[in-house]
Amino acid sequence: MNYIEKLRTSEDMVTPGMSACQGCCGELVLRRILQISGKNTIVCVPPGCMSGAGVVGWDYQTGMKIPVHIPLLTNTASFLSGVSQMYQRKGRGDVNMIAVAGDGATADGGFQSLSGAAERNEKMLYVCYDNEGYMNTGFQRSSTTTKGSRTSTTPIGEAINGKQQPSKYVALIMSMHALQYCATASPSHMQDMVAKVERGLAESKKGFAFIHVIAPCPTGWSFEPDMSIQIAKKAVASNMFPLWEKYNGNYYITVENKKPIPVKEFLQSMGKYKSLTDDDIAQIQKEADTKYETLKKLASE
């Protein structure tokens, strides 16, 4: 079955009406992951846009067809470790253990818990949808926010212009744990993403699987909702968000980028980078190039 057949025949596990914005890639990613994992799944969605959009539920009504829990911003991987360990103990290791967490819950407040669970190689699939900020609380900066971005805690000002620090590359940091599987994915490259979620799920039965997914956010990043996939495409094409995976100790670039587009094309397609100077753009270009070079070296080992 090809990925399109899979997606058109698999059941949606999430409430049909959730309050994520028009064109939200977080919603897209969440639905796709759970379509692939199916009913035999337990999912944790920490505080953030996805849980806030109603997928955990309201009062006595649930937002999913599968068991779901909203853990803390700071403990998703630990909480799921406990659930997973009990399921192994009960001889029900077949149940998919999935976290769908934002970049804040992953790279900031929840990072210690995540790193601990990865180091213990706990059996779960942890997916980070990265919209480069704390969207649910009003688009404040996070550690994955790209340098120069306008966020509500790094506004454009006379004295200080946007975020001053480059982003933390959480996927590569995670890959340095002795984990089972690590990958990056983009909803624009749906076939690649579906394959990685499938592999991640399979590997999660043996240990810790981590997937870092870019999730363009029209509301926070300032672009028209219909451009979400185009923007994700440009992020990949410009090497702002290269697609790779690591398993059995080896790195593989899954979508080769022979002729990258300038990062400028990506940066200029949305409002949050509006006030970047040429110097800023040059620096971001350099970071993207270095990132890709590093990955190429890792992949050629």
Partner 1 sequence: MKIKAMTGNTTAAIAASLCRPDLIAAYPITPQSSVAEYLSELVHSGELQTNYVTTESEHSVMSVIQGAACAGGRTFTATSGQGLALMYEPYFQMSTMRLPMVMAIVTREMISPCTVWSGQQDAMSVRDAGWLQVYVENNQEIMDMIIQGYMITEHEDVLIPINVCYDGFYLSHLVEGVDVPSQKEVDAFLPPVHFNHAILDPDNPMAVDSLTSGEVLTRYRKGHLEAMVKTLDVIEEVDKKFAKSFGRSYGGAIEEYKCDDADIVLVAIGGMTGTARDAVDMARDKGIKAGLIKLRFVRPFPTDRIANALKGKKAFAVVDRSVCFGWNAGPMYTEVRAALINGDDKYSHFSAIGGLGGADISIKHMTSVIEKLESVKSKPGQHDTLWLMKEF
Partner 2 sequence: MSKRVHISPLANEGMYILDTASWRTERPVMNKEKCIECGLCLTYCPVNAIIFDENKYKITYNYCKGCGICAVECPKKAIDMVPEGGGK
Ligand X SMILES: Cc1ncc(C[n+]2csc(CCOP(=O)(O)OP(=O)(O)O)c2C)c(N)n1
Which stretches of the chain bind ligand SF4, using CB under 6 A?
20-21, 24, 26, 49, 53, 131, 135, 217-220
Separation of alpha carbons 293 and 298, rounded Å: 9
Q: Which is nearer to partner 2, 11 or 301 (CB)?
A: 11
**Is residue 27 a contact partner of residue 15, using CB atoms and an 8 Å limit?**
no
Residue 217 interacting entry, from partner 1, ligand SF4, Mg ion, none, C-beta within 5 to 8 Å by type:
ligand SF4
The three-state secondary structure class of 209 is strand
Residue with tokens 């601990």: 116
Q: Are strands 244-247 and 181-185 parallel, antiparallel or unpaired?
A: antiparallel
Name the CA dihedral angle for 111, 174, 43, 245, rounded to a multiple of 10 degrees. Answer: 160
Please pick, from the candidates 115, 137, 230, 257, the single residue that binds ligand X as defined by CB under 6 A.
137
Q: Does 18 bind partner 1 (CB under 8 A)?
A: no
Q: Which is nearer to partner 2, 27 or 108 (CB)?
A: 27
Q: Does 218 bind ligand X (CB under 6 A)?
A: no
Task: Specify burial of residue 64 (Cβ count, 10 A radius: 0-12, 13-18, 19+).
Answer: buried
Q: Does 103 bind Mg ion (CB under 5 A)?
A: yes
Binding site for ligand X (CB under 6 A): 26, 47-50, 73-74, 102-105, 109, 131, 133-137, 142
Binding site for partner 1 (CB under 8 A): 39-42, 51-52, 54, 56-72, 74-75, 78-90, 95, 112-113, 115-117, 119-120
